[in-house]
């Protein structure tokens, strides 16, 4: 990556130009940097999928926001910059009493978890969910939304410090996967039933273990492949337990789909953000020109919480 000059983008029809105050750093950014997660057609090649800032230009046909309004946004790319143009449906008001840095930590994980855990998996009150990476951005957001919807969450972590953080974010129990077999622990915690939903960012051989940990009629959500893209599973477990398995990536979905997720977030999650009901994540900041250092920090095994670049 290099820090350089580029033309200020224009707000196209249906878009708003945002003067960026802060931009969140996410694992898809690292994958894009490595050439493993290319931007969709017509998206900016500049990294960055979430920002907070103020609207400074409105494209043709845009309503609902005024100039200088403080906002956060899920971008299609281009967030690591001083200005980014974003489809208006992917822009949300900055929650009350949130700083720009705090706001920039929200969109990517909230959109992802809202669509997969809440909308597709239809998380219900009193259901149990196993969340891998309880200290990660996705993990901590899933913990919070599970709590908001009255579900019971069990989060895997790798240290006491991350366990404390996951509990602070709302996890009912934590499982140190280095010291414990999470399958055995899940069966103890659920009296042998297994969990209703598993949210996984690991992949690899975890999938076959998940078929042992999932409850009858349960759902496995695949959001990442940190442990590898290939897995060998016992299909008999999939069949006899009536398991639903689905995967998802957010960036290549349509602007229309992302706008629908934004509307649902505004209705169900924004009241909790505005009232202070949800915990703010742990955030580490770097100046924009030190984005490379931010990526190195995210790859550290000690990292947890969110990383935000400040312009």
Q: Where are the domains of the chain?
A: 15-105+251-310, 110-247
Segment 150-189, tens digit of pLDDT: 999 999 999 999 999 999 999 999 999 999 999 999 999 9
pLDDT for res 42: 86
In the predicted model, residues of the chain with pLDDT beneath 50 are: none
Tell me which residue of 149, 140, 189 sits closest to 167, measured CA to CA: 140
User: What is the pTM (predicted TM-score) of this model?
Assistant: 0.96
In the chain, what is the straight-line distance between the N-terminal and C-terminal CA atoms, in Å? 16
Residue 119's Cβ-side half-sphere holds a number of Cα atoms within 13 Å equal to 18
- CATH class in words for 110-247: alpha beta
pLDDT for res 305: 98
pLDDT for res 104: 98
pLDDT for res 40: 87
Q: If you ran DSSP here, which 8-state letter would residue 92 be given?
A: E
- Cβ neighbours for 165, distance < 8 A, ≥ 6 positions apart: 134, 135, 140, 157, 282, 304, 305
- CATH class in words for 15-105+251-310: alpha beta
In angstroms, the CA 14 to CA 251 distance is 18
């Amino acid at each position: 990556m290099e820090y350089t000059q580029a033309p200020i983008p224009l707000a196209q029809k249906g878009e708003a130009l945002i003067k960026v105050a802060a931009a969140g750093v996410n694992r898809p950014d690292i994958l894009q940097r490595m050439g493993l997660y290319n931007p969709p057609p017509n998206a900016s090649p500049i990294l960055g999928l979430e920002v907070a800032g103020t609207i400074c230009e409105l494209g043709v046909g845009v309503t609902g926001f005024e100039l200088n309004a403080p906002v956060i946004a899920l971008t299609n790319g281009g967030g690591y910059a001083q200005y980014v143009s974003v489809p208006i449906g992917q822009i949300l008001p900055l929650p009350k009493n949130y700083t720009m840095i705090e706001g920039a930590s929200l969109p990517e994980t909230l959109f992802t978890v809202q669509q997969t855990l809440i909308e597709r998996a239809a998380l219900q009150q009193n259901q149990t969910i196993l969340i891998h990476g309880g200290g990660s951005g996705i993990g901590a957001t899933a913990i919070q939304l599970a709590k908001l919807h009255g579900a019971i969450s069990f989060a895997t972590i790798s240290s006491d410090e991350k366990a404390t953080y996951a509990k602070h974010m709302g996890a009912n129990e934590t499982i140190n996967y280095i010291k414990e077999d999470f399958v055995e622990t899940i069966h103890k915690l659920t009296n042998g039933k297994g969990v209703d939903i598993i949210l996984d960012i690991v992949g690899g051989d975890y999938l076959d273990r998940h078929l042992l940990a999932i409850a009858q009629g349960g759902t496995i959500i695949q959001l990442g492949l940190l442990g590898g893209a290939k897995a060998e599973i016992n299909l008999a477990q999939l069949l006899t337990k009536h398991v639903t398995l689905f995967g998802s990536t957010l960036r290549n979905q349509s602007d229309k789909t992302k706008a629908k997720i934004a509307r649902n977030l505004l209705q169900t999650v924004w009241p909790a953000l505005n009232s202070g009901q949800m915990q703010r994540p742990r955030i580490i900041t770097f100046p924009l020109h030190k984005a490379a250092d931010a990526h190195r920090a995210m790859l550290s095994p000690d990292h947890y919480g969110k990383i935000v670049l400040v312009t």
